[in-house]
């Protein structure tokens, strides 16, 4: 495991221990249907709210997740991803709750989930889905966490990076599989990964392309292979999210100035 990823996981274990015994708020919003928003006649967008990352530092100094999320929804996002990791991605559960209370599309908690308590938090703070990363979980952990989320009525995006991880996800019963082109061990992007893996997945699976999508051309070659694309950094660097959202989808030149 990459030293940075290893450090993140260690930190997450400490945070989990601190969370035990805390009283969670009562959920106040309905769970939004994941499949109907992502499995559509065209490629849907899971638009991400994240202030920064370990590899890029602070990406958006004027980060306002609610404002960003409302722009995403009005632009046509099928779902919204909210980074809740505070130590490395500058996020929080309050960000998740604020966004979930404001939009009517599904919101996914994106974090390094290792324990059922984090899924309970996601539910309490308004998420309709969670992310599970095969790279940081044993098959037994993955199955336990997936089952826990499903019992609560939450959808699960299972993130993979190679065929072996996809096989683990399928054996466990995943119905939404993310193919992350970013190798979490090296942080390098492998764009051909989508073309290598996605066509092998049954069309009943919600197939999500993750990382490295920054242009119309980036995802056009995936048409017919994927159902959705998760896009974060591209939007976080944008000075005009609605314009760049449209540009990403229709091929017009985005205004990046």
Please confirm, yes or no, whether 195 is among the known catalytic residues: no
User: Per-residue DSSP letters for 5-66?
Assistant: HHHHHHHHHHHHHHHTTPPPPPP-SPPPPHHHHHBSSSBEEEEEE-SEETTTEES-TT--HH
Active-site pick, 128, 211, 228, 238:
211
Separation between Cα atoms, residue 225 and residue 217, nearest integer Å? 14
Write out the E strands in the chain: 44-49, 52-53, 57-58, 79-83, 107-110, 129-133, 155-160, 176-180, 206-210, 228-231
Please confirm, yes or no, whether 180 is among the known catalytic residues: yes
Contact by Cβ (8 Å): 234, 213 = yes
Active-site pick, 15, 50, 51, 98:
50
Please confirm, yes or no, whether 18 is among the known catalytic residues: no
Active-site pick, 48, 71, 121, 165:
48
Burial class (CB within 10 angstroms; exposed 0-12, middle 13-18, buried 19+) of 162? middle
Active-site pick, 12, 39, 51, 110:
110
Please confirm, yes or no, whether 210 is among the known catalytic residues: yes
Please confirm, yes or no, whether 159 is among the known catalytic residues: yes
The tokens for 234 are: 């591209």
Please confirm, yes or no, whether 211 is among the known catalytic residues: yes
Contact by Cβ (8 Å): 177, 203 = no
Active-site pick, 44, 53, 81, 180:
180
Contact by Cβ (8 Å): 142, 172 = yes
Contact by Cβ (8 Å): 47, 81 = yes
Active-site pick, 39, 81, 210, 228:
210
Active-site pick, 15, 159, 165, 238:
159
Active-site annotation, residues: 48, 50, 110, 159, 180, 210-211
């Amino acid at each position: 495991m990459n030293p940075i990823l290893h450090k993140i996981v260690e930190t997450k274990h400490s945070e989990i221990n601190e969370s035990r015994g805390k009283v969670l708020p009562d959920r106040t919003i309905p769970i939004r249907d994941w499949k109907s928003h992502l499995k559509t006649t065209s490629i849907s967008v899971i638009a991400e709210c994240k202030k920064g990352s370990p590899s890029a530092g602070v990406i958006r100094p004027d980060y306002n997740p609610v404002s960003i999320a409302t722009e995403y929804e009005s632009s046509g996002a099928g779902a919204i991803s909210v980074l809740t990791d505070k130590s490395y991605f500058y996020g929080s559960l309050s960000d998740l709750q604020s966004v979930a209370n404001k939009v009517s599309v599904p919101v996914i908690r994106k974090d390094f989930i290792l324990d059922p308590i984090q899924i309970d938090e996601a539910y309490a703070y308004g998420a309709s889905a969670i992310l599970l990363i095969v790279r940081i979980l044993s098959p037994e952990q993955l199955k336990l966490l997936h089952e826990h989320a499903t019992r609560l009525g939450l959808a699960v995006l299972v993130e993979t990076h190679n065929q072996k991880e996809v096989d683990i996800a399928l054996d466990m019963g995943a119905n939404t599989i993310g193919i992350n082109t970013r190798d979490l061990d090296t942080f390098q992007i492998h764009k051909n990964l989508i073309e290598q893996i996605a066509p092998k997945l049954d069309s009943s699976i919600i197939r999500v392309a993750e990382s490295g999508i920054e242009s119309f051309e980036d995802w056009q070659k995936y048409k017919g292979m994927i159902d959705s694309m998760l896009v974060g950094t591209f939007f976080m660097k944008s000075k005009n999210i609605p314009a760049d959202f449209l540009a990403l989808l229709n091929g017009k030149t985005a205004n990046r100035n």
